[in-house]
Amino acid sequence: MSGKRRKDFTGELSKMVNSLVKVYLLDGRIIMGKLLNIDFDYLNLLVEEIPQEENREITLIPGTSISHVKIVRSKSKRKMPIEKRILSLLEKEPELTEEEIANILNVDLTRIRKAVDRLKRKGLLKKEKKAKREKGRTEN
């Protein structure tokens, strides 16, 4: 890769830092979380996974094990209303729980629950989403 093309490529990758990403691994596993850093020489990724429990996990993903990466939510300089942010996330990842949404958006869980309730009253979310609040993540 020429110097100019490499600079353009690394520049585009740099824009992904602090975005919510889904990293698809060659072995079929998927890691979803906030992209913290990129090693541009080997394309290794440092990802803060969405916590399933109270533990914060940061994973180093070797570039050689990555099939592809999708940006779920890019960092935004302008904040859109919480309801729109929730709908945008659920459009891309409909199985997210309220707890996961709160972690992704870095918003208090109570605020997420109130916004989800407003969306349900407006008919923009199905009532069945409430079950995800108690059950947590479903098995794949």
Residues 6+ apart with CB under 8 A from 86: 101, 105, 112, 115, 116, 119
| CA gap 29, 16 in Å, rounded | 21
- Please say whether the structural domain 82-135 has been given the CATH code 1.10.287: no
Please give the pLDDT value at position 136: 45
Residue 36's nearest CA partner among 54, 61, 53, 55 is 61
Q: Which pLDDT tens digit goes with each residue over 56-73?
A: 788 889 999 999 888 876
Domain limits, CATH 1.10.10, in the chain:
82-135
Chain centroid offset of residue 10 CA? 21
Q: What is the pTM of this model?
A: 0.55
CATH class for the domain made up of 3-73:
mainly beta
Q: Which pLDDT tens digit goes with each residue over 90-107?
A: 988 888 899 988 888 888
Q: Which pLDDT tens digit goes with each residue over 101-131?
A: 888 888 889 999 999 999 999 998 887 644 3
| CA gap 97, 130 in Å, rounded | 9
